[in-house]
Amino acid sequence: MKAKMPYIKLVFVLLLAAFLFGFAENRHKGRNIKEVGVQFTESENLYVTEQAVNKLLIQNNQAVTSIVKETLDLNRVESILNNHDMIENAEVYLTLDGKLRAKVSQRKPIARVVGGSSFYLDRNGKVMPLSPNYSARVPLLFGFSESNVTEVYPITKYIRNDEFLTRHITAVRRLNNGRFELELRKLDFSVYFGEAEDIDLKFNNFKAFYKKALKDEKLNTYRKVNLQFGNQVVCTKK
């Protein structure tokens, strides 16, 4: 009998552990969600507010905090957030202490179409509606619609990723021939860009021209700058 005692104790301990685990699990499942928290992945201006995200965290017309944990469909809640016009990606999860958390990444506008209709072009090249909460300071786009705005995406994306161009270029205009023209901050000459090709070469040429003309104090002597001729910048004086 003594030889069997260690085995009996082991079985008893395992049964007790299983009972306690099951008891705790049932209590955990039966509890309501304590609170809801929203975390934005980057510190930036909010195109969608925390209050708006909280309103989306609704299931079957009930406040999330009144829902028992085991009945909450996290995939459904996450899908609702991801379908919002201002949200690029959302991850929803429950913490061990019964709190619902939403980690939200907002869409990032890189240009704004103005004219017959107004909307943003986001960093993924998709149409994004304007936000009632904040107006982004991005280059303006003239002569575009939802059907052709993707044509200018490679140019606006390049501008967005370049500090010098972001500082100096205020607008991109689509001409009647389908080519592009750039407008600059505090300078009254236009920059004929041509088609959305050889973008890196054209912008490098422009930056080299700009720095040279600035050094020579000649920026205000030009009426038009043309970037479409390969390795050279063709300037027209006033």
Q: Across the strands, what pairs with 2? A: none
Reading phi first (left if > 0) and then psi (alpha if -120 to 50, else beta), residue 214 is in alpha
**pTM over cut 0.75:** yes
Structure tokens at 199: 């973008």
pLDDT tens across 146-189, in order?
A: 999 999 999 999 999 999 999 999 999 999 999 999 999 988 89
What domains can be seen in the chain, in order of their start residue? Answer: 32-106 (3.10.20), 109-237 (3.40.50.11690)
pLDDT at 74 over 90: no
% of the chain surpassing 70 pLDDT: 78
Length of the chain counted residue by residue:
238
Structure tokens at 115: 């004219």
Q: Across the strands, what pairs with 101? A: 37, 93
Mean pLDDT of the chain: 82
**Residue closest to 133 by CA, chosen among 188, 193, 53:** 53
Going from the C-alpha of 29 to that of each of 41, 64, 191, 221, the distances in angstroms are 29, 15, 64, 74
